[in-house]
Amino acid sequence: MLFSLLYKYDNKYTHNSIQPIGGIWDLSSEDFSNSSLYFPIYDWEFYPDVLLTPQDFKNGRPDTRMEYITLGERTSITRESAFGKGTYRLNIILPDTKQSYMMYLPEIFNSYRLYVNEDLLLNVGNIQKGEIEIQNRAITFTAERYVQIILAVNSTSHFYSGIIYPPIFGTPFNVNTTRGLHILLVIIITVIGFICFLLSVWLGFRTKQIYAKLFGVLCAVATGYTCHSIIHTFIPVSSMIIYTIEIGAYYAIFIIIILIHNMLCNLPRAWKAANITVSSLVCIMAIAFSHFSSRINIEERAIFSAILDIYKWTLVLTLSAAVIYAMYNRIQLSKPLLYGAIVFAVSLIFDRIYSLYEPIYTGWFGEISIFVYIMILGYIVWANITDAYRFNLIFTEQKRQMERQIIMQKEHYNMINDKIEETRRLRHDMRQHFRVMMGLIHKKNYDELTDYIKNIESSDYELPPVILCSNSLIDALLQYYGSLCIKKEIDFDVQFSASKTLPISDNDLTILLGNLLENAYEACVSIEDNKTERSIYINGVCNEKILKLKITNTSVAPPDKRGTDFYSTKHEGIGIGLRSVRSVVEKHKGILDISYENNRFSVSILISFS
């Protein structure tokens, strides 16, 4: 549908305009005040092998061979040779009112003179010597009733010759608007391609993703290819090297597409090697063909054109087969590659069905299909980068959680060892006390015994509770952050009961309680005002049926909430801790409530396991 619409509405050959007949173009009844554009394509007078001037037509047509031709129907100035010279002539009948007109001439290969009536308005290159100067040009002239256009062309240096692309005719405003829209579209695509190149290369080196680096190279080559329209609009080209770079970039795009394709589809090594070898050889041949185009005859050009057509169809079949192979092996994101291959195949088909297609604003079918293919590859590459980045974030967070859990377990282990040592010392001391008391009993020194017992009773042998919660994991978390709070002089109040075995996994429990305790502790530590009370209050219960948890901490600054997300104060972007807590709560179909009031930040969680 896209290619059919482009063919109908963005095509010089199907544009609704009057065409010349027998070398005469009658526009006398046309209203040039509207936005109409005209494309003279059919029935130009063509005089082969001669370079004529207006003087040669003073007494009518000169006595030399003439034929009527359609612009763009062939890509050589004569049917016998890829090179040569000739003269194009068109007689235009205009309205009686005198006004300004413009004719826009796309690339003409490769030097020419343009006459309007008797006046020489353009002299591009050295027409006598055939020296190159190629550029999109436009001429403005004032006329009424009748005007004669003569184009004398000499082509010696390119496998295209003469007028290949039909000109645009109309008022200066209409023609310039069309030119401006086309070049604006090309500039936008080029700038987007260049930005994607910079971003992909940066991400490729940042994430060490080979896909991103290759996609960056693809964007760079595609940008180099799209630049040719901008160059031909603003800069006169006097060397064929520009065309060599252009055609080289075009076929290099296929090489990079195949490289990315091979990696994404995980093809066998022999298949990859064959793809790259054939595509590289075709690219080298295309570059050599363009570089030595001045020595290639029309038969050789036809052979090479057939080779390129075979290569493109083979490429379509190869890409499609690679995608089918990937889909058979259940490789992720292989379907979009199939869509790209289909678009490319359809563009080749329509390029044959609609052979007379010359875009006004957009591009050729093949260029559009490549652009779509690059967008699809970009989507896949960015999806891979996003997945890798997401995996990296998850891995980093899991690593941090594990490290924190190991530290807490070590702290808990050390604390238990300290209590065991303290208990041993107490038992040893008590044995000594018992011996003293037994000696006093044997001596019947009861008054001294009474004083000794009172002295022992007044000594501080009370041990702080070792266990805050019967669940070892929760207890380790509470003990760890409790010890940190003691060191920082933060009030740490716990009222939490939990069963030894719980229906929630240790990983999910660590994410919930660990992230909330860490956030609460860091919020209190960040308070530098010594007069402000710093406290953390934990209240909750967790058993086989329910998890109820509320953690409240002092916070002098309200949280940075945007939508449903809370942004971190430690780094740029959304806070990973609260996002992890939310994902665990949603996983267990629970309720999460976050509030801030009177310098108190509270998080409440309710999860039912029944």
365-408 pLDDT, tens digit each: 988 998 998 898 888 888 877 777 776 766 666 666 666 666 66
Tokens of 445: 């020194």
Q: Cite the residue boundaries of each domain of the chain with CATH code 1.20.1070.10.
A: 178-393
- DSSP single-letter state for residue 504: S
Q: How many CA atoms lie within 13 A of 245 on its CB side?
A: 16
259-265-270 Cα angle (round to 5): 65
> So what's the pLDDT on residue 420?
65
Calpha distance 592→557 (Å, rounded) = 21
pLDDT at 466 over 60: no
CA distances from 211 to 128, 249, 251 (A): 52, 20, 20
pLDDT-based confidence at 212, cuts 50/70/90?
confident
pLDDT-based confidence at 463, cuts 50/70/90?
very low
Name the architecture of domain 178-393.
Answer: Up-down Bundle (1.20)
Q: Cite the residue boundaries of each domain of the chain with CATH code 2.60.120.260.
A: 12-170
> So what's the pLDDT on residue 335?
81
Q: Given this structure, which CATH class describes domain 468-610?
A: alpha beta
The pTM for the full model equals: 0.67
Bridge partners for 528 per DSSP? none
Amino acid at 144: E
283, 254 in Cβ contact below 8 A? yes
pLDDT-based confidence at 580, cuts 50/70/90?
confident
The yes/no answer on whether domain 12-170 falls in CATH 3.90.1170.50 is no
